[in-house]
Amino acid sequence: MKKIPLDIVALSHSVPQSQNFAVVLGEQDGIRRLPIVIGSFEAQAIAVAMERMNPNRPLTHDLFKNTLETFNISLKEVIINNLLDGIFYARLVCLKDGELIDIDSRTSDALALAVRFKCPIFTYEFILDAAGVVIDENEEAATVEPEAKKSKPSKKGSLSTYSVEDLSQLLDEVLAEENYERAAEIRDELNRRKDKS
């Protein structure tokens, strides 16, 4: 079966299941999107890696990556290989001593690892046919804006009132507390100020 390459194009709240998130995968050479509902922990794990945040202690997916690398196992690719009763299935294709090894994985975990290993993500045509959607560019910009850019500052005060030095200190504090949503807000505010200067 021909593998279709995908990229992670967005993370957003899942409207039907407000406690969950959706990771949206986009076809590299096409216009279809593959939305997959994931839990908040897995969404956070993907966001942390995509935003290149460095938590003080390794998250579970970082630990797994470090373990694989310690034993000279690399993640070659992730394949979303099945869809049964609305549940996506994935495989980690690993390489050790020249031998390919397939490992069954939850799709959300596989994506969190793919971001960390910077490895390609694939699926098959029958999965895109069954669960893929076509979103025009204007609609996509409105509905799948990354969560970090949509979230509001917490009640601790508007980030615009903080100095750059205070924001840097606050960023360190929230990373130590593993509050990655707030960290993303602070990072975005710091980036906005850099763009203005």
Q: How do residues 12-54 score in pLDDT, each as one tens digit?
A: 876 555 567 889 999 998 999 999 999 888 888 898 888 888 8
pLDDT, the chain, mean: 83
CATH number at 3-147: 3.10.690.10
Query: Taking each helix axis from N to C terminus, what angle separates 107-117 and 40-50, rounded to the nearest 10 degrees?
Result: 10
What does the pLDDT read at residue 109? Answer: 96
Distance of CA 80 to the CA centre of its chain: 15
Over residues 109-144, the pLDDT tens digits come to 999 999 999 999 999 999 999 999 987 655 544 444
For 164, phi and psi rounded to 5 degrees? -60, -40
DSSP-derived 3-state class of residue 25: strand
Give me 19's structure tokens. Answer: 């406690």
Domain spans, the chain: 3-147, 151-196
Close Cβ partners of 181 (under 8 Å, ≥ 6 residues apart): 44, 147, 148, 151
Identify the pLDDT of residue 146: 39
Reported confidence tier of residue 175, pLDDT bands at 50, 70, 90: confident
Q: What are phi and psi of 74, to 5 degrees?
A: -110, 150
* pTM attached to this predicted model: 0.69
User: 84-116, pLDDT tens digit by residue?
Assistant: 998 999 999 999 999 999 999 999 999 999 999
